[in-house]
Structure 1
Amino acid sequence: MSLIVRAAAEDVRSEDSEQLIRELSLELGLLYGGDGTAGFQQSDVETPRAAFIVARLDGHPVGCGAIRPLDDQSVEVKRMYTRPAYRRKGVAQAILAEAERLAAEFGYTNLKLQTGPLQPEAAALYERVGYYSIPIFSGDWDKVLAFQKDLVHERVK
């Protein structure tokens, strides 16, 4: 029996969204030190052409992600998180697929993201779904792994 994960844009200030963000920040803080927010603020996704995505399984929140504008062509994927009990079950792929769908809908040509070296599973996932390594594009920490995926826009005939 396969699990059906549904990912969709939701209010970043909802109780479920805020709880997922807290869990991710705690996990990242334990891994890397600091508050684990990686510079993310809820207001980052309360602007045009941005979104906060929650993945749900049977209505229960199991993961999240966000896209925020970098420039007219590029959107940054932020706050990618899957609750530990639901990892390796397609949650992150569902979030990324929705992020890519929304990015295309909003008119972006690519998505960029950065992750840390202590998250090799995340880096492997991004490469598996078509992201490729690029130079660091934000921040000054040299241990960042940066990735990009180019969107192919369908031509209307």
Structure 2
Amino acid sequence: MTAPELTVARVDQSDPRAQPLLAELAVEYSSRYGGTADEMYADLVAYPAAEFAPPDGALVVIARGDEVVAGGAFRRLDPETAELKRIWTSAAHRRRGLARRVLVELEREIAELGYQRVHLTTGWRQPEAVALYLAAGYTALYDPSVPAEEIGPHPFEKRIGATR
């Protein structure tokens, strides 16, 4: 029996399909940065859901059959810039290129909306994310020779799309 194909869906933050993404991110952030998973979850849902919805943003999930395995979101930072947020792959499905697939899907939607630039920050205790963004063509907006803990959040950018 072959595994079900991957499907991509745009969802609202309150959609049940977004909950695995938010819940597991909360646990991940808590384990890496301290605080409780409940505190981290509250921080994640504190952003207004409308920021991650059309016409200026999106939240996408990738599923294999009925199981959500990866996802991410973007919102408008300014008229030319989209900000990536909540890039996630289920712990049970990592190292399979799913985070890269999420980036491709988000970048496609960002370009379709006419943004020229993508901005994001990732945490200093997330070297896997740093490696992903560098491999995907993002430019580090920090000095990589400085120890990660001293930098704090690691900002990145990538030029994308056409003139808005």
Structure-1-length-normalised TM-score: 0.83
Task: Point out where structure 1 has 5 or more consecutive residues left out of the alignment.
Answer: 136-140
Bigger mean CA deviation after superposition, 1-10 or 103-112: 1-10
Structure-2-length-normalised TM-score: 0.80
Matches of 2:155 and 2:74 in 1, distance apart? 15
**Counterpart in the other structure of 2:31:** 30
**Counterpart in the other structure of 1:101:** 108
Residue 116 (structure 1) shift: 0.7
Q: Is the 8 A contact 1:66 1:79 kept in 2?
A: yes
Q: Is the 8 A contact 1:6 1:94 kept in 2?
A: no
Residue 124 (structure 1) shift: 0.1
Runs of 4+ in 1 over 2 A off after TM superposition: 1-8, 33-44
1:151 to 135, 138, 160: 160
**Counterpart in the other structure of 1:138:** none
> Percent identical across equivalent pairs?
33
CA 1:58–1:2 in 2, change beyond 3 Å: closer, same or farther?
closer
Paired residue secondary structure (2:101): helix
Paired positions, count:
149
Matches of 2:50 and 2:161 in 1, distance apart? 28
**Counterpart in the other structure of 2:128:** 121
Alignment of structure 1 residues 1-157 onto 2, 5 Å: 4-34=5-35, 35-36=39-40, 37=43, 40-46=47-53, 48-134=55-141, 142-153=151-162
Structure number having the greater helix percentage: 2
Q: For each residue in 1:63-104, what CA deviation from the matched residue of structure 2 results, as whole angstroms up to 9, or x when unmatched?
A: 110000000000000011101111111111111101100101
Paired residue secondary structure (1:80): strand
Paired residue secondary structure (1:48): coil
Matches of 1:146 and 1:6 in 2, distance apart? 29
Residue 134 (structure 1) shift: 1.5
What do you get for the CA RMSD once the two structures are aligned? 2.4
Paired residue secondary structure (1:70): strand
Residue 42 (structure 1) shift: 2.7
Matches of 1:78 and 1:108 in 2, distance apart? 16
Task: Point out where structure 2 has 5 or more consecutive residues left out of the alignment.
Answer: 143-149
Residue 33 (structure 1) shift: 2.3
